[in-house]
Amino acid sequence: MTKRIGVLLSGRGSNFEALAESVATGRIPNAEIAIVISNKPDARGLERAKARGIETRLIPSKGLEREAYDRQVAAVLHEYEVDLICLAGYMRLLSPYFVAEFPQRILNIHPSLLPSFPGLESQKQALDYGVKVAGCTVHFVDENLDAGPIIVQAVVPVQDTDDEHALSERILKEEHRIYTEAVKIILEGKFKIVGRRVIRTA
Ligand code: GAR
- The CATH code of the domain that includes 193 is 3.40.50.170
The mean pLDDT value for 68-94 works out to 97
- Give the CA angle between residues 39, 170, 130 to the nearest 5°: 100
Which of 103, 135, 160 is the last residue before a domain boundary?
103
Provide the pLDDT for residue 72: 98
Q: Are strands 106-110 and 133-140 parallel, antiparallel or unpaired?
A: antiparallel
Provide the pLDDT for residue 66: 96
138 and 185 both lie in a single domain: yes
Query: What backbone phi and psi angles, to 5 degrees, belong to 42?
Result: -95, 15
Residue 110 is a catalytic residue: yes
Handedness of CA 11, 17, 18, 20 (dihedral sign): positive
Model confidence pLDDT, tens digit, residues 188-197 = 999 999 999 9
User: What's the rounded Cα separation, in Å, for the pair 33 and 117?
Assistant: 30
**43: confidence class by pLDDT, cuts 50, 70, 90:** very high
The mean pLDDT value for 155-184 works out to 98
**202: confidence class by pLDDT, cuts 50, 70, 90:** confident
Ligand 1 within 6 A of CB of 48? no
Provide the pLDDT for residue 122: 98
User: What's the rounded Cα separation, in Å, for the pair 122 and 132?
Assistant: 14
The mean pLDDT value for 35-63 works out to 97
Q: Is the pLDDT of residue 62 over 90?
A: no
Handedness of CA 174, 135, 101, 188 (dihedral sign): positive
99 and 5 both lie in a single domain: yes
Percentage of the chain exceeding pLDDT 70 = 100
Strand order in the sheet with 150-157: 56-58, 31-38, 3-9, 84-87, 106-110, 133-140, 150-157, 197-200, 191-194
Domain tally for the chain?
A: 2
Model confidence pLDDT, tens digit, residues 142-160 = 988 899 999 999 999 999 9
Ligand 1 within 6 A of CB of 89? yes
Which of 53, 73, 103 is the last residue before a domain boundary?
103
Read off the pTM: 0.97
| Catalytic residue chosen out of the listed positions 78, 110, 165, 176 | 110
Ligand 1 within 6 A of CB of 148? no
Nearest residue (CA) to ligand 1, atom 17: 14
The mean pLDDT value for 71-93 works out to 97
* Single-letter amino acid code for the residue at 200: R
Model confidence pLDDT, tens digit, residues 94-148 = 999 999 999 999 999 999 999 999 999 999 999 999 999 999 999 999 988 899 9
Q: What is the mean pLDDT of the chain?
A: 97
User: What's the rounded Cα separation, in Å, for the pair 70 and 61?
Assistant: 9
Which of 81, 103, 125 is the last residue before a domain boundary?
103
User: What's the rounded Cα separation, in Å, for the pair 19 and 126?
Assistant: 26
| Residue 63 neighbours by CB distance under 10 Å | 7
96 and 130 both lie in a single domain: no
What is the distance in A from the centroid of ligand 1 to the CA of 202? 30
Q: 145 near 139, Cβ under 8 Å?
A: no
Domain range for 150: 108-202
